[in-house]
Amino acid sequence: MSDLLFVWFPVIAALIAGIFGMFIMFVGAQLYAKSVLLGRRGQAGQATVTRHYQKRRFKSGRNHHDHEDIHTHRIDYDIQLYGKSYKAKGLMPSKELWQQLSVGSKVDVIYLPMNPKNSRLAETPARVGRIGGAVQMIAGAAMTTGGAVYIIAGLLGAAILPEPEQAHVDWLRDQAVVLSINKSDDPFVRIMRPNTRLVHFEVGDDDGGRDYLGHVGISLGPDAFPELRVGDVLTVMRAPNDKNKAVLLVLE
C-alpha cells in the first residue's frame, strides 16, 4: 500500500489526468461539431416542453458559511418529426424566458433534419456551443499534454543514465557501512531499470576524530555490486566540502 501511495501515485494521477483529458476533448469536440452543424444546416421548428425545472448549485463565498444559491433554468422537450419522437434537453438563456414556459408549451428549436436529436433552443446563441466545445477541448488537451509530458520526461530521465561521479585528487578516502538495499523510490527507474537498487550507507564515524558524513543514498545497477549485503563495509572517496558527494570503490 505504501508503494501505491508514495511511489506510484504520481504516475497513476498523470495517467488518470491524461485519460480524463482525452474524454473531455472528445466531449468538447462533439459539442463543437454539433454547434457548427446546427449553424450551417440547422432547420427551424417547434418542440413541446415535457419537463420544466431548475437545477440548484452553490457559489462559495469567502468562507464555507458564506454562499449564494444559484439556479439554472432548464427544460426537456420533444420534437415530433417523421412520425417519431426525438427527446432533448435545453438550458434557457434567461429566467424570464423560462418563466414564460410550462409543460405542454411550444418552444422554438433548431434541429438537424438528418438527426433531429441534434438540436438546440432557438433562443440560445449558436456561439455558446462553439465556445463551450472549444474551451472543453483546450482544457482536455492541457490535461492530456501535462500527463503525457510528465510520464515521457520521467521515462527518458530514467532511461538516460547520468555520468558517474568521479573522485578528485583532494577527495578523502574513508569507509562506508551499508545500511539498506531497496528498490528505487523513483517509479520511472523501476519501470526502465527494474534491477537497480537504492543503497543507503553511512560514511565516517563519531569516534577517532574522523568527520561524520552521515547517510547517503545512491542507485546501483545489478552488476555494480552483485553480492552486496546490509552491513558490508566499502571503501569510499568523499568530497571534503560536500556531504552529498561520495564515490564507492570496492568491498573491503
Cell numbers of 152, please?
A: 515521457
Cell numbers of 192, please?
A: 526502465
Q: What is the DSSP code string of 79-132?
A: EEETTEEEEEEEE-S-HHHHHT--TT-EEEEEEETTEEEEEEETTS-HHHHHHH
Per-residue pLDDT of the chain in tens (252 residues, 90 and over written 9)? 556 667 888 899 999 999 999 999 999 999 999 999 998 999 999 999 999 999 876 555 555 555 555 778 999 999 999 889 999 999 888 889 999 999 999 999 999 998 898 999 998 888 888 999 999 999 999 999 999 999 999 999 888 866 666 777 788 888 878 888 888 888 888 888 888 878 777 776 545 444 444 555 666 666 666 677 888 887 877 777 776 677 766 544
| Whole-angstrom distance, CA of residue 201 vs CA of residue 198 | 10
CA of 152: how far to CAs of 95, 141, 156, 189, 192, in Å?
48, 16, 6, 12, 12
CATH of 2-147, one of 1.10.240.10, 3.20.20.150, 2.40.50.660, 3.50.50.60: 2.40.50.660
How many helices (H) and strands (E) the chain has is answered by: 5, 10
Give the start-to-end residue ranges of the domains of the chain: 2-147, 172-251
Residue 168 in contact with residue 246, Cβ under 8 Å? no
**H-only helix segments in the chain:** 2, 9-41, 95-99, 126-159, 187-192
All residues at 6 or more sequence positions from 51 whose CB lies less than 8 Å from its CB, including other chains: 75, 76, 103
